[in-house]
Amino acid sequence: MTALEKVQEKFTQDIVETHVFRGDETVVVRPSALRAVAQFLRETPELDFNFLMDLTAVDYLFFAGGRIQKEFRFEVVYHFFSLKNNIRLRIKVPVDEKDPEVETLSDLWASANWYEREVWDMYGIRFKNHPNLKRILMYEEFKGHALRKDYPFNKRQPLIGPLN
């Protein structure tokens, strides 16, 4: 049984969709189930996803030139890897624009700490219970979130430091 099948079996009601493309398995889960699914991936011995390889976000504001409408504006995307089993699994979590927040996974995978800070900084998606959610790439006075598709590329920002 594959990792995708095990997650499907355990979290039937919490899965929005699944797909496999060229051997890459993807599960889209409800935001409320993220924490439980992540713990299951980490703590189930036959899965043992002990490495969070990457965590990022996608902004679907102008997806496919506005022709395709998504129910949610954002998705938070997690790439997990099991070193023991040499298997990968992608988890996607749809996030609403009005309240862009998901639960932190930084206490399960230390690497999530900085990844979550980067997603917060660039997209404005909050990670509930994160120990230190603050900007990591932009300076503290920066206004907005630069990777949002509606961020004005020519926006003036507050300057830091003295002008010479």
* Number of residues written out for the chain: 164
Written as one string, the DSSP assignment of 90-105 is EEEEEE-SSS-EEE--
For CA atoms 126, 128, 130, 132, give the dihedral sign: positive
> What percent of the chain has a predicted confidence (pLDDT) above 70?
92
Query: Residue 76 and residue 65: Cα distance in Å, rounded?
Result: 21
The verdict on pTM exceeding 0.85 is yes
Q: Using CA atoms, how far apart are residues 164 and 61, in angstroms rounded to an integer?
A: 39
Three-state DSSP class for residue 47: coil
Three-state DSSP at 26 gives: strand
Tens of pLDDT, residue by residue over 68-102, are: 567 899 999 999 999 999 999 999 999 999 999 99
Fold (topology level) of 3-128? Beta Polymerase; domain 2 (3.30.460)
**N-terminal to C-terminal alpha carbon distance within the chain:** 64
pLDDT tens for each residue of 98-113: 999 999 999 999 999 9
Q: Is 15 exposed, middle or buried (0-12, 13-18, 19+ CB in 10 A)?
A: middle
Higher pLDDT, 125 or 143: 125
Joined together, the tokens standing for residue 13 give 């009601």
